[in-house]
Structure formats: structure tokens, C-alpha cells
Amino acid sequence: MGDFSYTERDGHLFIVTINRPEVMNALHPPASAELSAAFDEFAADPDLWVAIVTGAGPRAFSAGNDLKYTASGGSRAEYPATGFGGLSTRFDLNKPLIAAVNGVAMGGGFEIALACDLIIAAENARFALPEVRVGLAALGGGVHRLPRTIGPKRALGMILTGRHVSAQEGYELGFVNEVVPEGEALSGARRWADEILAVSPMSVRASKQAVYLGLEQGGVAGAESIKYSAVAEMMASEDLIEGPKAFAEKRPPQWKGR
């Protein structure tokens, strides 16, 4: 257990919990550095295939940047190269991330969730990019990821007002994958993780990389024209042989992730 977070391994699953419930899991630079190290561990370990990110306690996923820490003269050391929460500028991770949003996800907390691939939200979850209300802007990826997720008009409706959005509205807008009962965000995320862990990890990584890098190309023709390293790794993997073989033999595949 670290000072500001803790991690859990469960087979091929890695769970990262932000552990500052006394400040609604708000983050300062030392906490982001610690989270960055946790996600470095996840990225580097071939036996870890899916990660879940959540917050400690029943009230908050993360309230975002710890403004009280900064105002009280806390260290203004730079955030890690991987950005806020160790995720906002981590663009090279092909393994899937699931946000289990158990309460408030505001500002940088929402940006951490948006940096994940799936968002599972409890009914009591609340989302916002309220930076405009305090003279700032959601520059931890929020102003870029949210419009690409739900479209510019709907995103600007949140970004320009800083308004709060419920889990259900988040689902209707399109940035929440599933709404689950209060207290069940982590169990809901685990269920999604189990579904991902049941399929080929090499295919999952190839698919994730192709989606995100493909979106950078501006069109389908451009996306189809480039080479994806994770696709090449998939094509050279043992799992590429195992999948069709298991299908032909009418048995569950035994994925190796390599």
C-alpha cells in the first residue's frame, strides 16, 4: 500500500484504488506520481491484462485537483510525464482500463475516468468539468476527450457551464457504459473485466490501439493505411494459433497473452 493509493492483483486483473477519502480522493502531485508508478507496473507486467481504477470510500471516485493542498503552500512539483493521476497523458498503453466511478468524479477526477476505456458508474456518481467556475480550464484531457466521446455540442454543454451530470445522464450522453446500483461500481467493473479477460488479450490490445490511433487519422482510409504495432504483435502471437484451434476443437481457448 502506498501513501495515497493501493493496488490489488487478482489473476490477470489489476485494481488501483485512489486512497485519499478524507479529501474525496482529490490528487496532488505526489499522489499522481504514486499512481503513475502503479500504472507503470501494470503496463510492464505481461501477466496483467486489464486494470480497474476506483476511489476509496463511498463518496468519491476523485474530486480532482487538490486545490486546498496547493492553497496551503503544498509542493508545486510538476506532475509526472504521464499526467494527472498518472493517466491523462499516458497515450501508449494498449491494455484496457476500466473506471469504476463510485461517487463524485469532478474536474481531474472526471479526466482520469475519461482516460479509461470504459466507465462503470454507480447511481450516485456525479460528473463535471467545473474548471470554468474557478477561472481555469479542463486541460488534463477533458476539453479534448469529452468532445471526442460524446460530440462537440453535448461536450460544450458541460464544459462551458461546469454543470454537474448524473450517472444516468452520463449514460444517455454516451460517456458512461453502464449504471449500476450505489455501492456496486467495483463489482460492475469486475464483471466487465471478466468479459474482457475471457477473450484474446492480444486481440484486445490490437483493437484498442487501432481504435485510438485510427481516430487520429481523420478518416477511415487514413486509419486503414497505417501500421499498428499491436496488430503486428497479435499476428505473431501464440494466441493467434490458439483461438482458431480451440474453436475447431470445441473447447475454451487457453490464452497466453503473447
- Which residues, listed in sequence order, are joined to residue 127 by a DSSP beta bridge? 105, 165
Work out the angle between the directed axes of helices 142-150 and 152-159 (0-180°, nearest 10).
140
- Residue 69 to residue 73: CA distance in whole angstroms: 7
Which member of 8, 22, 111, 178 is catalytic?
111
Nearest to 258 by CA among 241, 242, 234: 234
- Residue 123 to residue 109: CA distance in whole angstroms: 17
Which member of 22, 34, 131, 249 is catalytic?
131
The DSSP symbol for 120 reads E
Which SS3 state, helix, strand or coil, does residue 60 take? strand
Place of cell 477533458: 142
Q: What grid cell was written down for 181?
A: 446500483
- Residue 51 to residue 115: CA distance in whole angstroms: 12
Q: 78 an active-site residue? A: no
- Residue 118 to residue 90: CA distance in whole angstroms: 16
Longest distance between any two alpha carbons in the chain, whole Å: 64
Active site residues: 111, 131
